[in-house]
Amino acid sequence: MCNGSLDKWIFSKGQHGTLEWQTKCKIIADIAKGLSYLHEECRQRIAHLDIKPQNILLDEDFNAKVSDFGLAKLIDRNQDQVMTRMRDTPGYLAPEWLTSIITEEVDIYSFGVMVVEIVCGRKNLDYSQPEESFHLISLLQEMIKSDRLLDLLDRNSNHTKLHENEAIEMIKLAVWCLQTDSNRRPSMSTVVKVLQGAAAIDAGLDYDIVTKGPIISRKGDHHYGYHLGASPPPSASLLSGPR
């Protein structure tokens, strides 16, 4: 996978160049297909539980592969959900992690966060940003309500500027995946169909996508406020997990 991990291409400005819009769309579709296979086509459902750009690898043609299954969980087809200790990475945690009762839908949530990052060209949690905008998903909710979504698009990418309407539709797909009620999120096979133009995005989306819970301040202190995926960060041992 000679092009390394996705984060180096969407977060490291100027070091690896800018991905063209069609390449971004292809990468998003590849990830969706991979997760659809894990969730729906395997004998047991596989919840990856650590979907983030660092775990998406790119080959010489920018075909994307889901990698690093150290935190993955097998879910029997006859199980509705499983109970597990909190894992995953802060910034990509679905709200239901607060209960420790999860399904593969936590991956769908993390996928939604990652799609927003790809389209906007920045990390969900970026403490180099002003305090009012260091959390991208909170900022996304504000921009939706004030009808200013275009302000969120990656301004370092001329390719994204040329495809503004498509980028907005991609963000709406991400919002569908970010629904706080996990039952309202699409399956990954439905996401694939939307990306292929064979299905439409749910017209009744809930745009209140920020969950109230403990957040991490710039100094690392916990306090309460509005934050998406609002569980405290796992310990280093939980984040690394068995390899």
pLDDT tens for each residue of 189-242: 999 999 999 999 999 999 999 875 543 334 343 333 333 444 333 333 333 333
Find the range with the poorest average confidence among 13-17, 149-153, 180-184: 13-17
Residue spans per domain, the chain: 7-74+86-235
Q: Please tell me which of 96-110, 147-161, 195-209 the model is most confident about, judged by mean pLDDT.
A: 195-209
The per-residue pLDDT for 28 is: 98
The per-residue pLDDT for 78 is: 67
Question: Which pTM was predicted?
Answer: 0.83
The per-residue pLDDT for 236 is: 36
Residues 6+ apart with CB under 8 A from 34: 64, 65, 66
Residue 80: pLDDT band (50, 70, 90) is: low
The per-residue pLDDT for 172 is: 96
Q: Between 97 and 95, whose confidence is greater?
A: 95
Tokens of 92: 């990509």
The per-residue pLDDT for 101 is: 78
Residues 6+ apart with CB under 8 A from 128: 134
Which is it for the CA torsion 127, 131, 133, 136, positive or negative? positive
Q: Where are the alpha helices (DSSP H) in the chain?
A: 7-10, 21-36, 105-120, 136-145, 158-161, 164-177, 188-195, 236-240
Rounded to the nearest integer, the mean pLDDT of the chain is: 83
Half-sphere exposure of 54 (CA within 13 A, CB side): 8
Which is it for the CA torsion 66, 68, 71, 74, positive or negative? positive
Q: Which residues of 137-169 are buried (b: 16+ CB within 10 A; e: fewer)?
A: bbbbbebbeeeebeebbbeebeebeebeeebee
Active site residues: 50
> Residues 119, 127: contact at Cβ < 8 Å?
no
The per-residue pLDDT for 81 is: 63
- Nearest Cα neighbor of 209 from 187, 170, 167, 176 is 176
Rounded CA-CA distance 220/233 in Å is 10
In the chain, what percentage of residues exceed pLDDT 70?
79
pLDDT at 87 over 70: no
Tokens of 233: 């960060």
Place of tokens 């909170």: 138
The per-residue pLDDT for 132 is: 85
> Residues 116, 140: contact at Cβ < 8 Å?
yes
* Homologous superfamily in CATH for domain 7-74+86-235: Transferase(Phosphotransferase) domain 1 (1.10.510.10)
Summarize pLDDT for 12-65 with one digit per residue, the tens. 765 556 789 999 999 999 999 999 999 999 989 999 999 999 999 999 999 999
